[in-house]
Amino acid sequence: MAYLPNTETIGEAVNFYFTFVFSPPYEPLIPLGGIEEDLFFPNGTQDPRNQALIQFRSDMLTLIQGYDPETPQRFQWPLSIET
């Protein structure tokens, strides 16, 4: 029994590995091109839903920059909680 591997350690390592392997690609909450890029709905900025998305992104930028103005974290927030 002393020569058998610790299965708890192996399980934790596999869990850590699977977290990154099976995660979807990282997409930032605020696109690199700006708050008016990569809109979810057709008709560009004329669509009220896209206008709400732009306002949300603008509000998030204000929050992020107010939270820590010294560190540029605006592109480090994921688009979804699964990332």
Query: For the chain, what are the domain ranges?
Result: 7-67
Among 80, 63, 83, residue whose Cα is nearest residue 29? 80
- Would you call 28 helix, strand, or coil by DSSP? strand
pTM attached to this predicted model: 0.62
Q: Give pLDDT, residue 83.
A: 46
**Largest Cα–Cα separation, the chain:** 69
In this model, does residue 59 exceed pLDDT 50?
yes
More confident residue, 21 or 83: 21
**Given pLDDT bands bounded at 50, 70 and 90, which one contains residue 1?**
low
Q: What is the mean pLDDT of the chain?
A: 82
Share above pLDDT 70 across residues of the chain, in percent, rounded to a whole number: 88
